[in-house]
């Protein structure tokens, strides 16, 4: 299951599994508002290649507005995926855990 919503400080919060079946809903949510500055991934358990595309498109929108996208509270399994794919060099991120 995947959930996406705005947190109390206006950050985007993603939870669950961002796989191919959820990418369109995530992109629709993100495109319906100004490009976010922060995405909290504390509760994101898994991200598939389609989810990486969602993040990349969101980063491009943020950069068009002169900002960088910050991924915060990245858990180890998602951080590993970002690192293996080289996306850890594309995004500013903060990792939690070992």
- Per-residue confidence band for 98, with pLDDT thresholds at 50, 70 and 90: low
- Collapsing DSSP to helix, strand or coil, 88 comes out as helix
Give yes or no for a contact between 56 and 86, defined as CB atoms under 8 angstroms apart.
Answer: no
Domain residue spans of the chain: 2-95
DSSP string, 3-38: EEEE-TTS-EEEEEEE-TTTHHHHHHHHHTSSPPSE
pLDDT of residue 78: 97
The CATH number of domain 2-95 is 3.30.750.24: yes
pTM for the whole thing? 0.93
What whole-number percentage of the chain has pLDDT above 70? 98
pLDDT tens-digit readout, 79-92: 999 999 999 999 99
């Amino acid at each position: 299951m995947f959930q996406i919503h705005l947190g109390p400080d206006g950050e985007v919060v993603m939870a669950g599994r961002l796989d191919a079946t959820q990418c369109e809903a995530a992109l629709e949510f993100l495109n319906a508002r100004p490009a976010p500055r922060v995405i909290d991934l504390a509760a994101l358990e898994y991200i598939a290649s389609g989810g990486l595309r969602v993040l990349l498109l969101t980063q491009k929108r943020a950069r068009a507005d002169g900002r960088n996208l910050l991924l915060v509270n990245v858990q180890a399994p998602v951080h590993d995926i970002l690192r293996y794919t080289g996306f850890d060099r594309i995004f500013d991120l903060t990792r939690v855990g070992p």
